[in-house]
Amino acid sequence: MLRAFAMRKNPATGAGAVDVAWVTDAAVAVGLVAVLITVSIASPGPATDTPRGTAIAVTLGLSAAGWAVWMLAGGRPWVTYGGLAVMSAVGGALAGLSWDSPAVAVPCVATFSAGARLRIPASLSIVLRTLIAFVIAARVVGAPTGVLLGYPFAFVGLWGLGLTRHEYSTRAEQAERMLAETRRAHEAETAAAALAERARIARDLHDVLAHSLAAVSVNLQAAGGLLAAGTLPPDNPDLAKAIECIDRAGTFTREGLAAARRAVLALRDDTAPLTDRVSSLADQYRAAGDLEVDFETSGEERPIPPEAGLAAYRTAQEALTNARKHSPGQPVTLRLGFEPDQITVDVVNPLPPRRAQGPLAEAGAGYGLTGLRERAALAGGTLDAGPVSGNWQVSLRMPA
């Protein structure tokens, strides 16, 4: 039972670690009980039918009340100060009245806690209150000179120890704040470096891949023009096949060039809102002229983690590409939804009639949706794709 309350597991290592706050509170509570019991049975004590016994009983009860208030303050400054103020004044008087008993623990706890938890002016007032109350009460009951001189030095010494503790705690908190700020600055620098690297990759893609594909497209168009101009005999059976192959290669090249441009745009616009990026993607496919895209949004847009945003963008991109390949000219509905704990992407287009697929139906390796499912699973989401009521539907659900 004690282990269950005083020990807690470290989530990183699984090892048990002492809950220091709980142990401290338990020790303080035990101290209060010990003071109540020992002072009650001390001689002279509160049970003595004398003015001194009555005064000890009253101050002991008030000291216990102040101690309890201080324990239950919960970090509230004014409640803490009030509890310590009662402990200092009444506890100092109790220690003076019963100087040869554990009653001295009350002003000791008050002065040390005041130094450790309060600012210097407030803690100094606690110490002065303790000294005045103790000296007056001790002189009234005729305490020895050693008690009158020694106990105040002990109270002041404990206050100084509390001030040291306060300074240490303050510096520790400042160090933690500086560490957190340094960590945030490092994360910001890492994010900026990642964005710079993405921009460099985008430039390289544009300079190498896009330019190369553009050159290939120009050469294919020139070759097609030469063939169509009659440089080969018109009755050559391979002429029509060659022109068809060049046209298909030109189509693939233009598709690759468009995909490269979209990749560059995605890399450069990664910090743009997801709605704007997906809307721009729909505009690109709509501008191509062979796909009618109806883009819809629902819910209140909010910042999305990069992994979830990239998965949503890639899902919309792959689904629109597949619709263009297999159902050119058909209307496509693209929906982006922002729900309380997730984002959704739904792309719906009519299934093409049998044997009526577009010229790009055989393009690609056929692993686009498989890669998207793997990407969604790694980020904790799900992706479903298949026929639904005469339509082909791609649905992404991504926690965000």
DSSP 352: P
Q: Residue range 147-152: average pLDDT?
A: 89
pTM surpassing 0.75?
A: no
pLDDT at 271 (0 to 100): 58
pLDDT in tens, 80-106: 888 889 988 998 898 888 888 888 888
Which residue did the predictor score with more confidence, 262 or 16? 262
What is the residue whose two structure tokens read 């990664």?
Answer: 270
In contact, 122 and 81? CB cutoff 8 Å: yes
Which residue did the predictor score with more confidence, 115 or 21? 115
- Other beta carbons within 10 angstroms of residue 307's beta carbon come to 17
Q: Which residues are CB-neighbours of 218 under 8 A, at least 6 positions away?
A: none
Assess whether pLDDT exceeds 70 at residue 206.
no
pLDDT at 10 (0 to 100): 44
Helix (H) or strand (E) holding 392: strand 391-399
Q: How far apart are CA 392 and CA 351, in angstroms?
A: 6
Confidence of residue 336 (pLDDT cuts 50, 70, 90): very high
Assess whether pLDDT exceeds 90 at residue 338.
yes
Assess whether pLDDT exceeds 50 at residue 364.
no
SS3 82: helix
DSSP-assigned beta bridge partners for residue 297: 336
Exposure pattern of 142-154 as b/e (b: 16+ CB <10 Å)? ebeeebeeebbee
Assess whether pLDDT exceeds 90 at residue 344.
yes
Q: Residue range 147-159: average pLDDT?
A: 90
Phi and psi (nearest 5°) for 390?
A: 80, 5
| Residue ranges in 301-367 assigned as alpha helix (H) | 306-326
Confidence of residue 130 (pLDDT cuts 50, 70, 90): very high
Q: Residue range 339-358: average pLDDT?
A: 80
Confidence of residue 131 (pLDDT cuts 50, 70, 90): very high
User: In whole angstroms, how far apart are CA 248 and each of 251, 255, 359?
Assistant: 5, 11, 8
The tokens of 366 are what? Answer: 């056929």
Residue 162: closest CA among 60, 61, 74, 88: 88
Q: Which residues are CB-neighbours of 114 under 8 A, at least 6 positions away?
A: 84, 88, 122, 123, 126, 127, 159, 162
In contact, 160 and 115? CB cutoff 8 Å: yes
pLDDT in tens, 164-182: 988 988 898 899 989 988 8
**Lowest mean per-residue pLDDT among 173-177, 190-194, 204-208, 372-376:** 204-208
Phi and psi (nearest 5°) for 98?
A: -125, 60
List domains and CATH numbers for the chain: 2-143 (no CATH), 273-400 (3.30.565.10)
Q: Residue range 177-204: average pLDDT?
A: 78
